[in-house]
Amino acid sequence: MLIDFTKSQGLGNDFIIIDDLDGKLDITPAMVRGVCDRHFGVGADGLIIAKKSSVADYFMDFRNADGSLAEMCGNGIRAFAKYLFERHRRRPVMAIETLAGVKTVELTAPDGEVDAVKVDMGEPILVNAKIPVLADGDAFIDRSIALPTRQAKATCVSMGNPHCVVFVDDLDTVDVAGDGSFIENLDIFPNRTNVEFVQVLSDHRLKVKVWERGVGATLACGTGACAAMVAAGLNGLVGMEAIVELPGGELTVSRSANNHVFLSGSVKQVFTGKLEMDRWPMEGETV
Q: List residues with catalytic annotation.
A: 73, 221
| CA dist 88 → 9, 20, 47, 130, 157 (Å) | 19, 13, 18, 35, 34
Among candidate residues 284, 285, 242, the one with its CA nearest the CA of residue 265: 242
d(Cα 113, Cα 200) in Å, to the nearest integer? 34
Among candidate residues 101, 164, 153, the one with its CA nearest the CA of residue 128: 164
d(Cα 21, Cα 153) in Å, to the nearest integer? 44
Start-to-end CA span in the chain (Å):
19
| CA dist 217 → 22, 49, 137, 179 (Å) | 34, 23, 30, 11
Phi, psi of 249 (to 5 degrees): 145, -160
Among candidate residues 7, 185, 160, 11, the one with its CA nearest the CA of residue 73: 160
